[in-house]
Amino acid sequence: MFLFPLAWVIFYIPTILADESGALVSGKRISDYSASELWARKGPKAPLPPPNGTSPHFKALVIGHALLCVFGFAVLLPAGVFLARYLRTFRPWWYNAHWIMQAGIAGPVITIGVVLGYMASGAFGKTAGDNHKTYGSVLFYIYFAQCIFGALIHYVKPKNATRRPPQNYVHALLGLVILSLGMYQIRTGYHQEWPQYVGEGILPAGVTSLWLVWCILLPIAYGAGMYFIRLQYRQEAVARLRIRKPGLPLQMSELEV
């Protein structure tokens, strides 16, 4: 699943580093720095001077990064969440659709998007660290942790449970946190990073309007899907009882929802 982005990173990063005109945008080329200078500039403490004119190469990396990250975090991940919220009570294949969307489809898109971000900001820490970069990396790790966690709660289920396992709530809650942080990350991306590093001024006001509309629509759409929550809990209670008392006829009063 991750072979494609991996191969892409392995083969593409050296090309980018070799492409001196695009690797650094502060007027200097990689070969102009000594190895110790490059390492000294790694991290937020000793940033390189801000770019005084951006190469088309840098801009292309940022645009690719922004488009893929927005598509991954604001379209694909929410789609996977809605698949779960709306389909789980009606379609037994909701789980497959959910993990394929979240890991199989969103995974490569997000991975390539974030790698483009790293490439834009420089393999050697070209620009100072800021919230967008720090939280962007953290969000990426949380996303991966969430995929592993999702698989764990699916395959390692408590035996003879009488209630919903708490870890299932944690996964759902963390999923919503990821969506919220993703929207925040998009905001800092287009509102702070773009004007600061791309050197083309701020983006049109329509971008903020679109972002706001999306921030409002996502929770409304998820909240509306809560309409099915009672039915879902009832179905899950029946399933738990069937495991504990196989073959016995079920009474509604026995359900521990």
Sites of contact with ligand HEM (CB under 6 A): 62, 65-66, 69-70, 73, 77, 81, 84-85, 88, 95, 98-99, 102-103, 114, 117-118, 120-121, 127, 132-133, 136-137, 139-140, 143, 146-147, 150-151, 153-154, 168, 171-172, 175-176, 178-179, 182, 185-186, 189-190, 193-194, 197-198
Q: Which is nearer to ligand HEM, 96 or 248 (CB)?
A: 96
d(CA 116, CA 5): 11
Q: Which is nearer to ligand HEM, 5 or 140 (CB)?
A: 140
Q: Which is nearer to ligand HEM, 195 or 248 (CB)?
A: 195
Q: What is the nearest approach in angstroms of ligand HEM to the Cβ of residue 21? A: 16
Let me know: does 185 contact 135? Beta carbons within 8 Å: yes
Q: What is the nearest approach in angstroms of ligand HEM to the Cβ of residue 248? A: 24
Residue showing tokens 């690797």: 23
Q: Say how many C-beta atoms besides its own lie within 10 A of residue 95's C-beta.
A: 15
Let me know: does 257 contact 234? Beta carbons within 8 Å: yes
Q: If you count DSSP H runs as helices and E runs as strands, how many of each does the chain have, helices first?
A: 11, 0
Q: Which is nearer to ligand HEM, 60 or 248 (CB)?
A: 60
Q: What is the nearest approach in angstroms of ligand HEM to the Cβ of residue 249? A: 26
Q: What is the nearest approach in angstroms of ligand HEM to the Cβ of residue 38? A: 14
Q: Which is nearer to ligand HEM, 84 or 237 (CB)?
A: 84
Q: What is the nearest approach in angstroms of ligand HEM to the Cβ of residue 184? A: 8
Q: Which is nearer to ligand HEM, 46 or 248 (CB)?
A: 46
Closest CA to 138 of 184, 71, 203, 86: 184
d(CA 20, CA 31): 8
Q: Say how many C-beta atoms besides its own lie within 10 A of residue 201's C-beta.
A: 8
Closest CA to 189 of 126, 109, 130, 247: 130
Closest CA to 71 of 118, 115, 113, 134: 113
CA distances from 128 to 66, 132, 137, 254 (A): 19, 11, 14, 60
Q: Which is nearer to ligand HEM, 161 or 250 (CB)?
A: 161
Q: What is the nearest approach in angstroms of ligand HEM to the Cβ of residue 86? A: 9
In what helix (H) or strand (E) does residue 81 lie, and over which residues does it extend?
helix 77-87
Q: What is the nearest approach in angstroms of ligand HEM to the Cβ of residue 116? A: 8
